[in-house]
């Protein structure tokens, strides 16, 4: 079995062309901050549960509350965060507000996450 020491560089060689290529392709600090915030949003179990439910069907706060056994106020709070992050959208039908995933990108992110964790 390899140890951490076996995986370190034995010689100090700088691969300048590789470093330049990577530096040129790395996003700027603003984009990195936005990506970090995006993944923080997905780092909350309640929000992921809401997204998983909305992956199946659009739902109102009352239905999400019953389905997930979370108070309506907590669901509303999490939906506000998800809306501000452009992960969910809403539509009104009379007095009822239905929430759904914003677009196929959100579906893909969830599907890819599930695929990744289910790999053997």
Q: Can you give the residue ranges of every domain in the chain?
A: 13-117
Tokens 């700088």 appear where?
Answer: 14
In 7-103, alpha helices (H):
16-25, 29-41, 45-56, 61-68, 72-84
- Tell which residue, 39, 82, 75, has the closest CA to residue 67: 75
What's the pTM value of the predicted model, to 2 decimals? 0.81
Over the stretch 45-96, which tens digit does the pLDDT of each residue have? 999 999 999 999 999 999 999 999 999 999 999 999 999 999 999 999 999 9
Quote the mean pLDDT of the chain: 92
Domain 13-117 has CATH 1.10.10.10: yes
The mean pLDDT value for 93-106 works out to 95
Q: Interior CA angle at 60 toward 59 and 66, to 5°?
A: 90
């Amino acid at each position: 079995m390899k140890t951490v020491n076996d995986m370190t560089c034995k010689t100090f060689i700088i691969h300048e062309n590789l470093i330049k290529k990577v530096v040129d392709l790395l996003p700027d600090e603003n984009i990195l901050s936005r990506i970090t915030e995006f993944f923080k949003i997905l780092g909350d179990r309640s929000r992921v549960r809401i997204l998983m439910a909305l992956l199946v069907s659009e739902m109102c706060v009352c239905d999400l509350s019953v389905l997930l056994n979370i108070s309506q106020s907590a669901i509303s709070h999490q939906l506000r965060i998800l809306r501000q992050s452009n992960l969910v959208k809403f539509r009104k039908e009379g007095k009822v507000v239905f929430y759904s995933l914003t677009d196929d990108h959100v579906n893909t992110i969830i599907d890819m996450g599930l695929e990744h964790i289910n790999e053997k």
